[in-house]
Chains A and B, each alone.
Chain A
Amino acid sequence: MLFLTLAGNWTVAPLGPVLVTGESVKKPLPATTPGGIAVFDYNNDGRLDLFFPNGGAIPTGPKAANTLLRNDGNFQFVNVTAAAGLTGRHYDLGAAAADYNNDGHPDLLTLGLRGLTLYRNEGNGKFTDSTVAAKLDNLGRWSVAAAWFDMENDGDLDLFVVNYVQWNPATEQVCLVAGKPDFCHPRHYAPEPNALFRNNGDGTFTDVSAPSGIAAHKGKGMSVAAADFDADGLIDLYVTNDRTFAFYFRNLGQGKFEECAFARGIAVPQDGNPVSGMGVSAEDYDNDGRPDLVYTALRDETFPLYRNLGQEFEEATGKSRLAPLSRTMAGWGIAFADLDNDGWKDILAARSDALSATGGNAAKAKEPPAWFRNQANGTFALGDGWAKLEPAMYRGLVAADLNADGCLDVVLTALQAPPRVLRSPCQGAGRWLSVDVRELGARVRIGTQTRWVSSASGYASSYLGPLHFGLGAALQVEVEVTWPDGRSKRIATATNRAIQLKP
Chain B
Amino acid sequence: MRLFPLLFLAALLPAQEDPAAAAARAMREGRFADAEHLYRGLIKEIPNEPRLQLNLALALHSGKKYADANLAFAQFLKTNPPPGPVHLVAGLSLLKANRPCDAAPVLEKAKRWQASEQVLTELADAYSACKRYPQAATAYSEAAGKATANAGRLKRAAARAYWLARDYSSARPLFAALRPTFSNDAEFLYEFGDTLARTEGSEAGLPLLERSVELAPELTPARGALGRALVEAGRHPEAIPHLTAAAPADATLLMPLSRAYKATGRVEDAARAEQQYRKSLAPQN
**Residue pair B201, A191 in contact (C-beta under 8 Å):** no
8 Å CB contact of A327 from B198, B274, B278:
B198
**Considering the chains assembled together, what is the distance between the CA atoms of A407 and B93 in angstroms?**
64
A130-138, A267-275, A385-393, A417-425 - interface stretch:
A267-275
**Residue pair B284, A272 in contact (C-beta under 8 Å):** no
User: Does B169 belong to the interface (CB within 8 Å)?
Assistant: yes
Residues 266-285 of B at the A interface (beta carbon under 8 Å): 274, 277-278, 281-285
List B contacts of A327 (CB < 8 A).
Answer: 168-169, 198-199
Contact digits for B52-86, partner A, Cβ 8 Å, 1 yes 0 no: 00000000000000000000000000000000000
**Considering the chains assembled together, what is the distance between the CA atoms of A218 and B168 in angstroms?**
34
> From DSSP, what is the main secondary structure of chain B's interface residues?
helix
**Residue pair A323, B198 in contact (C-beta under 8 Å):** yes
**Residue pair A274, B232 in contact (C-beta under 8 Å):** no
List A contacts of B283 (CB < 8 A).
Answer: 187, 191, 220, 243-244
Smallest beta-carbon distance A36→chain B, Å: 25
User: Does A445 belong to the interface (CB within 8 Å)?
Assistant: no
List A contacts of B256 (CB < 8 A).
Answer: 270-272
Known: A189-B285, A270-B259, A318-B201. A328 touches B168 (CB 8 A): yes
Which residue of chain B has the shortest Cβ distance to A269 in the bound complex?
A: B255
List B contacts of A104 (CB < 8 A).
Answer: none
Contact digits for A214-240, partner B, Cβ 8 Å, 1 yes 0 no: 000000100000000000000000000
Residues 22-42 of A at the B interface (beta carbon under 8 Å): none
User: Does A203 belong to the interface (CB within 8 Å)?
Assistant: no
Contact digits for A318-341, partner B, Cβ 8 Å, 1 yes 0 no: 110101100110000000000000
Contact digits for A257-276, partner B, Cβ 8 Å, 1 yes 0 no: 00000100100101111100
**Residue pair A328, B232 in contact (C-beta under 8 Å):** no
**Residue pair A270, B284 in contact (C-beta under 8 Å):** no
**Residue pair B252, A190 in contact (C-beta under 8 Å):** no
Residues 289-345 of A at the B interface (beta carbon under 8 Å): 299-300, 318-319, 321, 323-324, 327-328
CB-defined A-B contacts under 8 Å, sample of 5? A245-B282, A268-B281, A270-B231, A272-B252, A300-B198
Contact digits for B244-255, partner A, Cβ 8 Å, 1 yes 0 no: 000000011111
> From DSSP, what is the main secondary structure of chain A's interface residues?
loop
**Considering the chains assembled together, what is the distance between the CA atoms of A270 and B200 in angstroms?**
17
User: Does B220 belong to the interface (CB within 8 Å)?
Assistant: no
User: Does B118 belong to the interface (CB within 8 Å)?
Assistant: no
User: Does A492 belong to the interface (CB within 8 Å)?
Assistant: no
Known: A178-B132, A324-B201. A271 touches B255 (CB 8 A): yes
**Considering the chains assembled together, what is the distance between the CA atoms of A265 and B277 in angstroms?**
13
**Considering the chains assembled together, what is the distance between the CA atoms of A243 and B107 in angstroms?**
35
**Considering the chains assembled together, what is the distance between the CA atoms of A189 and B284 in angstroms?**
10
**Residue pair B201, A323 in contact (C-beta under 8 Å):** yes
Size range of the chain A interface in the assembly: 20 to 34
Which residue of chain A has the shortest Cβ distance to B285 in the bound complex?
A: A190
List B contacts of A187 (CB < 8 A).
Answer: 283-285
8 Å CB contact of B202 from A244, A265, A318:
A318
User: Does B51 belong to the interface (CB within 8 Å)?
Assistant: no
Known: A300-B166, A328-B168. A270 touches B199 (CB 8 A): no
Contact digits for B128-139, partner A, Cβ 8 Å, 1 yes 0 no: 000010110000
Smallest beta-carbon distance A244→chain B, Å: 5
Which residue of chain A has the shortest Cβ distance to B170 in the bound complex?
A: A328
**Residue pair B254, A272 in contact (C-beta under 8 Å):** yes
Total count of chain B residues near the partner, CB < 8 A: 31
**A-B pairs with the 7 shortest C-beta distances?**
A272-B255, A272-B252, A300-B166, A190-B285, A244-B283, A318-B232, A273-B252
Best-surrounded residue of A262, A268, A271 (most CB of chain B within 10 A): A271
List A contacts of B199 (CB < 8 A).
Answer: 324, 327
**Residue pair A324, B200 in contact (C-beta under 8 Å):** yes
**Residue pair B198, A270 in contact (C-beta under 8 Å):** no
List A contacts of B281 (CB < 8 A).
Answer: 245, 268, 272, 274
**Considering the chains assembled together, what is the distance between the CA atoms of A216 and B280 in angstroms?**
20
Smallest beta-carbon distance B233→chain A, Å: 9
Smallest beta-carbon distance A355→chain B, Å: 13
User: Does B155 belong to the interface (CB within 8 Å)?
Assistant: no
**Residue pair B135, A178 in contact (C-beta under 8 Å):** yes
Known: A190-B285, A270-B232. A321 touches B168 (CB 8 A): no
Smallest beta-carbon distance A81→chain B, Å: 38
**Residue pair A270, B201 in contact (C-beta under 8 Å):** no
List B contacts of A299 (CB < 8 A).
Answer: 166
Known: A191-B283, A262-B278, A272-B228. 18 other contacts (CB 8 A): A178-B132, A178-B135, A189-B285, A190-B285, A220-B283, A243-B283, A245-B282, A270-B259, A271-B252, A271-B255, A271-B256, A274-B252, A274-B281, A300-B166, A323-B201, A324-B198, A324-B201, A328-B168
Smallest beta-carbon distance A377→chain B, Å: 15
**Considering the chains assembled together, what is the distance between the CA atoms of A262 and B252 in angstroms?**
14
**Considering the chains assembled together, what is the distance between the CA atoms of A270 and B166 in angstroms?**
19
Smallest beta-carbon distance A37→chain B, Å: 29
Smallest beta-carbon distance A65→chain B, Å: 35
**Considering the chains assembled together, what is the distance between the CA atoms of A244 and B255 in angstroms?**
14
**Residue pair B274, A262 in contact (C-beta under 8 Å):** yes
**Considering the chains assembled together, what is the distance between the CA atoms of A178 and B138 in angstroms?**
14
**Considering the chains assembled together, what is the distance between the CA atoms of A273 and B168 in angstroms?**
17
**Considering the chains assembled together, what is the distance between the CA atoms of A243 and B284 in angstroms?**
12
Which residue of chain A has the shortest Cβ distance to B283 in the bound complex?
A: A244
Smallest beta-carbon distance A363→chain B, Å: 9
List B contacts of A328 (CB < 8 A).
Answer: 167-169
**Residue pair A191, B232 in contact (C-beta under 8 Å):** no
**Considering the chains assembled together, what is the distance between the CA atoms of A328 and B105 in angstroms?**
28
**Residue pair B231, A321 in contact (C-beta under 8 Å):** no
List B contacts of A270 (CB < 8 A).
Answer: 231-232, 255-256, 259
List B contacts of A179 (CB < 8 A).
Answer: 105, 132
